[in-house]
Amino acid sequence: MADFLYQLLLTFDATLRIAAPLILCAMAGIFAERSGVIDISLEGKMLTGAFVAAAVAALSGSPWLGLICAIFASIFMSLVHGFACITHKGNQVISGVAINILASGLTVVIGIALFRRGGQTPTLGRDERFKPLDWIGTETLDAVPLLGVIYRQLISGHNVLVYLALLAVPLTAFIIYRTRFGLRMRAVGEVPEAVDSAGVSVTWLRYRALIIGGVFCGIAGAYLSVAQGGNFVREMSAGKGYIALAAVIFGNWRPLRAFMACLMFGFLEAATSRLQGVDLPLIGEVPTQLMLALPYVLTVLLLAGFIGRPSPPAAIGQPYHK
C-alpha cells in the first residue's frame, strides 16, 4: 500500500513535469483565442523557443539569457502570425500551419548552420540549465511521514520554470477577468465591433494578446530544452502544442479549467509511461501507445458535444473588417 502511494506520488510528480509546458502553452492559447485569433501555432512557437533557448544557453552559458531570447523569438513568431491574420486578414489556420512548418524547418536549418550536429544543439552543462530548486526545510520535514515525502517530491524539487507555469494560471485568470485589458480582450473575441465602436483598436488588442501568448510559448520552449532536457533535439515539441490546444478547448477557453485539463493530460501520460509493460488484472497489458491518443480522442468527443458543450469565443477565426 505504501509502495502504491509512493508510486502515485512519483506519478503526480511526473505529471507536473509533463504538464508544465502544456500549461504555459494553454495559457498562451487562451490569450490568443479569447481575443478571436485561432492559434494552432503554439507548437511552432514552442519549438522555436526551445531551439533558441538551447542555442543561446549553449553559446552564452546562461540559461536565463536563453530564456529571454526564447521569449523574444517566440514573440517574433507571434508577430508573424499577427501580421498575416490581423494586419492582412489572412486565414488564421493557414498562418498557424505555416508557422509550425516554418519552425520545424528553421530550427534545424539554423541549428545545423550553427552547430553542425545534425540539427541538435550541444548538450548543456549543469550550470547552463535550470536546476531543480530544493526548498528550505526538506531535510527537517523528511522526518514527518507522508507530508515529508509530498513536500520533497511534489512541492519542492522542481525547476523555476515549473513554478512559473503554475504561476501563469492565476496570472492569466487575473489578467482576463480583473483587468481593463482582459475585459477588452474578451470583448474583442466576442463582438469586435463593440470594441471598435467604443474607440478601442481591435488590431492592437489582438496583437497584444498574441504577444503575451508568445511570451508563454517561449518559456514553454525553454522549459523543454534547458530545464527538462539538456539540449535541443529536432521536433522536440512533439505535438505538445496541439495537446495544449486540446486543453484550451477542453477547458472551454477558461484558465483554471484548461489548467485542470493539462494536469489530466499530463497525468495520463505519466501514468502511461509507468504502466508500460505492466500486466494489470482484467485488462492485461496496457496498450500504452493507444493510451497516448486519449487526450486527442477525448478532445474529439468533447468537440462533438458528447461530453458537455464547448462554447468558443463568438468571433474566433474571423478577421475584423470595419
Partner 1 sequence: MTDTNKDGSGGAAPYALELKGVSKSFGLIRANRDITLAVRPGSIHGIIGENGAGKSTLMNIVYGMHVRDEGEILVGGEPVDMRSSADAISHGIGMVHQHFMLVPTFTVLENVMLGSEGGALLREGRQAARDRIVELSERYNLRIDPDALVGDLNVGQRQRVEIIKALKGGAKILILDEPTGVLTPQEAEQLFEILKVLRDRGVSVLLITHKLAEIMEITDAVDIMRQGQIVGHRKTAETSPAELAELMVGRKVLLEVERTEANPGDVQFSASGLGYTNSQGVVELQDISFEVRAGEILGVAGVSGNGQTQLMEVLAGMRHLTAGSISILGTEVTPATETNPRIIRDLGLRHIPEDRHQHGLILHFEARENMILGVQDSDLAGTGFLMDPAAIEANCREKMRDYDVRPDAPRHFAKNFSGGNQQKIVIAREFSANPVVLLVGQPTRGVDVGAIEFIHKQLLALRDAGCAILLVSVELDEIMSLSDRIMVLCDGHNVGIVDRAEADRQTLGLMMAGQKREGHAA
Partner 2 sequence: MSGPTPPLPRWADLFLLPVINLMAALFVCGLVVLAIGENPIEALGVMLKGAFVYSGGLGYTLYYTTNFVFTGLAVATAFHAMLFNIGGEGQAYIGGLGAALAAFAIGAAPGIVALPVAIAGAALAGACWGVIPGYLQAKRGSHIVITTIMFNFIAASIMVWLLVGPMLEPGQQSPQSVPLPEGSYLPKMHEMLGAIGVETAATPLNASFLLALVSLAVFWVLIWRTRLGYNIRAVGQNPQAAHYAGINVPRTIIIAMAIAGGFAGLLATNEILGISHRVILNYTAGYGFTGIAVALMGRNHPVGIFLASLLFGALYQGGAELDFEFQSITREMVLMIQGMIILFSGALAYMFNPPLARFIARISAPKREVAHG
Supply the DSSP symbol for 21: H
Cell numbers at residue 267, please?
497525468
Give the whole-angstrom CA distance, residue 118 versus residue 120. Answer: 6
The CB-of-268 to partner 1 minimum distance in angstroms stands at 31
- Binding string to partner 2 for residues 251 to 290, with x set by CB under 8 A, is what? ------------------------------------x-xx
Burial 165-189 (b: 16+ CB within 10 A, else e): bbebbeebbebbeeeeebebbbbbb
For residue 235, state whether it binds partner 1 (rule: CB under 8 A): no
Q: Does 84 bind partner 2 (CB under 8 A)?
A: yes
Residue numbers 31-70 binding partner 2 by CB under 8 A: 38, 40
List the one residue from 7, 60, 179, 276 that touches partner 1 (CB under 8 A).
179
Question: 285 - beta bridge partners?
Answer: 279
**Exposure pattern of 70-109 as b/e (b: 16+ CB <10 Å)?**
bbebbbebbbbbbebbbeeeeebeebbebbbebbbebbbe
Q: Beta partners for 280? A: 284
Nearer to partner 2, 183 or 293 (CB): 293
Q: Is 184 in the site for partner 1 (CB under 8 A)?
A: yes
Rule CB under 8 A: is residue 171 a binding residue for partner 1? Answer: no
- Does the footprint of partner 2 cover residue 292 (CB under 8 A)? yes
Measured CA to CA, the distance from residue 117 to residue 264 in angstroms comes to: 36
Contact between 18 and 158 (Cβ < 8 Å): no
Residue 190 contacts partner 1 per CB under 8 A: yes
Phi, psi torsion values for 280, nearest 5 degrees: -95, 145
Candidate list 145, 199, 281, 305; residue touching partner 1; CB under 8 A: 199
Which of partner 2, partner 1, none binds 136 (CB below 5-8 Å, type-dependent)?
Answer: none
DSSP 45-97: HHHHHHHHHHHHHHHHS-HHHHHHHHHHHHHHHHHHHHIIIIIS---HHHHHH
Measured distance CA(185)–CA(35) in Å, rounded: 5
197 binds partner 1 (CB under 8 A): yes
Compose the 112-131 pattern: x for residues touching partner 2 by CB under 8 A, - for all others: xx--x--x------------
State the number of CA atoms in the 13 A half-sphere of 157 facing the CB.
Answer: 16
Given 12, 267, 296, 320, the residue binding partner 2 (CB under 8 A): 296
Q: Does 281 bind partner 1 (CB under 8 A)?
A: no
19 binds partner 1 (CB under 8 A): no
Q: Is residue 158 part of the contact set for partner 1 (CB under 8 A)?
A: no
Q: Over the range 299-314, which residues count as b (16 or more CB within 10 Å of their CB) and which as e?
A: beebeeeeeeeeebbe
Nearer to partner 2, 157 or 239 (CB): 239
**Site stretch for partner 1 (CB under 8 A), options 52-60, 68-76, 195-203, 238-246:** 195-203
| Residue 262, helix vs strand vs coil | helix
Q: Which does 267 bind (CB under 5 to 8 A by kind): partner 1, partner 2, none?
A: none
Give the residues lining the site for partner 1 (CB under 8 A).
178-184, 186-187, 190-191, 193-200, 314, 322
Give the residues lining the site for partner 2 (CB under 8 A).
38, 40, 80, 83-85, 88-95, 97-106, 108-110, 112-113, 116, 119, 234, 239, 242, 245-246, 249, 287, 289-290, 292-293, 296-297, 299-300, 303-305, 312
